[in-house]
Amino acid sequence: MSEIRHSILFDEKRCIACVACTKACPSRAIRVRGGRVQVNADLCIDCGECIRACPHDAMSVRTSSPSDLKRFRHTVAIPSTTLYTQFGGDVRPSHLLHALTRIGFDSFYDMSWMCEMVGQALDAYLSECQDPWPKISVTCPAVIRLIQIRYPDLLPHLAPIESPRELTAKLIRRRVAQERGLPPEEIGIFYVTPCSAIMHSIIYPVGLEESYLDGAFSVAEVYGPLRMAMEEMGEASSSSATGFSPRGLGWAAAGGESAMMRNANTLTVNGVAEITHVFDRIEAGKFRSVDYIEAYICPEGCVSGPLLVEGWWRAKRNLREVISRLGRQASIQEEKTRKLFREHFFDLEEEVKARALRPIARDLKQAILRKREKEGLLALLPGKNCAACGAPDCATLAEDILEGDAVPEDCVFVKLDRLAGPSSARGGKASNDSRAKERPGPPGAAGPERDT
Amino acid sequence: MTQERPREDDVAGAPADVLYREAFRISGGDYEHGGEVAARVKAILKELGIDPACSRRLSIANFEAEMNVIMYAESADLVLEVAGDEVRVTVADRGPGIPDIGLAMQEGYSTATAEMRARGFGAGMGLPNMKRNTDRFEIESVVGGGTTLRYAVRIA
């Protein structure tokens, strides 16, 4: 097992060992065995689908704690642009930002302008980059990790432009240090995150040796305090809404990046099912006429992140309203962005590498043998994908059995069938000869004793 | 996936060096499932630990072959054979056949209809693209009978 420490925490006391998380995990990293949840750290991509799926709140995210703020002489909050979508359509972004200083941060920075700059940089990159097409966005860290694990062939497709959150932190650390006359390391920069994937990317960055962010809090945990602070502040206290980028705010929802690409043929892909479909085809050489793919593991982009409070159907509407209320704003000067682009300000600092998993077999012959064994097991299992065994589906249980992590009797149907004995007519698939092949001797006699 | 997919898991009747063999049925006009056979073959190659570069090149050819069957033929059987040193694919269709193979192998030549083009196919790159991505490529065709493609990619 890898040493990667993930951002998702599991609370055994709340868990009732149902299989909601197992079934929701796009990486098939979760098993429920012996009444306990086990997560394969090699496979977890920190997407947070388990947090969303758990009806008992047993999954949560390891965020920063208020005591982390005390380690720094000056703290800055950078809220994800999704924060502006959580308090109704008539919330003023500047009001919200000022409220951050009332809940424990010394100052704040809006990053919508950086989203606009990164959009311009991507547009510049797309106009001059080389094969292979299409390029794939690196905005969603869960998508990057999915590519590292399941689609290593697609790594050369990643657009090597850093995310707006990291670039904002990089830039404002310098700026705040100058303004306040403080050493950069005494400034704590904290993100307000809509998801576990970004939290994990701060602890274990990809494309970057070390994150420019010092930690993060979830939108859900600052939501209550922020709401109270805004009420206390009243209407008059905040300044007018300037300095926001409406185009950058659009990045909060899927399609926001693509809307900024003027000369590129773009495609927005949301959720694991769509991603799998499209990525499988990119691997097969399709989609070459598309220049840029904006992909999010969440169903509607960041605005549907697992750590948000507002339902995304409303958050999306709020976002449109907030943007239209901002009206016309001065846009970022493109020459400035182009200059920074040429100076490699936006570049990913490190190459994104494949995250290799254990090879399943030593050589081709062994792999074929293993595949046959798996097919034999699949013939034995009912194919209902009920997950009652604790694996997400029958195919995964078959793999677990081959690995020695499970036994066929973990399947309730197999177990029932074996308890009923070999003469039972009920079993259907479960009484066929693949079982006899799997275990020599009279099958009915050996069954129950092997239960553990 | 079509229901009538024949299963030929055993390697009986295949050349002696074939270690793994599986056949798939592709139905003409079945745009709904277009690309699924190629995706399944790719998943099998991954499961067998075939080098990703090799599997990618073969998948490009498989996808083209599959779409050709869907667009032009009645049906076809795609047979995957994994040998120790190469992965072979045979796609034998029942279809109109190709009158002039030399012309069909030219880049940009296409008989695709407007509907096919609207779906993003028919750029006339299919057969040349398959040849480019494989280490061995043979094509045989009988007008009014069908077309058989045989291609292979060496395992690195």
pLDDT in tens, B89-128: 999 999 999 988 888 888 777 777 776 666 666 666 678 8
Q: Is residue B103 part of a domain?
A: yes
- Residue B120's domain comprises 18-154
Mean pLDDT of chain A: 89
Q: What is the pLDDT of residue A250?
A: 95
d(CA A411, CA A400): 12
Q: How far apart, in Å, are the Cα atoms of A132 and each of A51, A153, A186, A288, A346?
A: 35, 11, 42, 8, 20
Residue type, B18: V
In angstroms, what separates the C-alpha of A373 from chain B's closest C-alpha?
12
Say which residue the tokens 């079945």 belong to. Answer: B30
B84/A contact by beta carbon, under 8 A: yes
pLDDT band at residue A242 under the 50/70/90 scheme: low
pLDDT in tens, B2-37: 444 444 556 777 788 899 999 999 999 998 888 889
Q: Is residue B101 part of a domain?
A: yes
Q: Is residue B3 part of a domain?
A: no
Taking CA–CA distances from B59, the nearest residue in chain A reads A284
DSSP 8-state code for residue A269 = E
B128/A contact by beta carbon, under 8 A: no
Q: What is the pLDDT of residue B108?
A: 75
Out of B20, B49, B155, name the one closest to residue A359 (CB): B49
Pairwise CB contact (< 8 Å): B48 & A153: no
**Mean pLDDT, rounded, for A416-425:** 75
Taking CA–CA distances from B57, the nearest residue in chain A reads A284
Q: What is the pLDDT of residue A219?
A: 98
Q: Is residue B8 part of a domain?
A: no
pLDDT band at residue B52 under the 50/70/90 scheme: confident
Q: Is residue B132 part of a domain?
A: yes
In angstroms, what separates the C-alpha of B39 from chain A's closest C-alpha?
7
d(CA A160, CA A344): 11
Percent of chain A with pLDDT over 90: 75
In angstroms, what separates the C-alpha of A153 from chain B's closest C-alpha?
7
Taking CA–CA distances from A365, the nearest residue in chain B reads B19
DSSP 8-state code for residue A356 = P
Say which residue the tokens 């092997």 belong to. Answer: A450
Report the domain count for chain B: 1
Out of B38, B48, B63, name the one closest to residue A371 (CB): B48
pLDDT in tens, A158-170: 999 999 999 999 9
Pairwise CB contact (< 8 Å): B129 & A285: yes
Spell out the domain ranges in chain A: 8-61, 66-236+244-342, 364-450
CB–CB contacts below 8 A, A to B: 58
Instruction: Phi first, then psi: give them for residue B150, nearest 5 degrees.
Output: -130, 120
ipTM value: 0.80
Q: In the predicted model, is pLDDT for residue A442 greater than 60?
A: no
- In chain A, what residues touch B19 (CB-CB under 8 Å)? 364-365, 368
d(CA A416, CA A430): 10
Pairwise CB contact (< 8 Å): A284 & B60: yes
Taking CA–CA distances from B61, the nearest residue in chain A reads A284
Cβ-in-10-Å burial (0-12, 13-18, 19+) of A422 comes to middle
- Give the CATH architecture of domain A8-61: 2-Layer Sandwich (3.30)
pLDDT in tens, B133-145: 999 999 999 999 9
Q: Is residue B52 part of a domain?
A: yes
Please report, for the domain that includes residue B130, its CATH number: 3.30.565.10
The H or E element containing residue B150 is strand B146-154
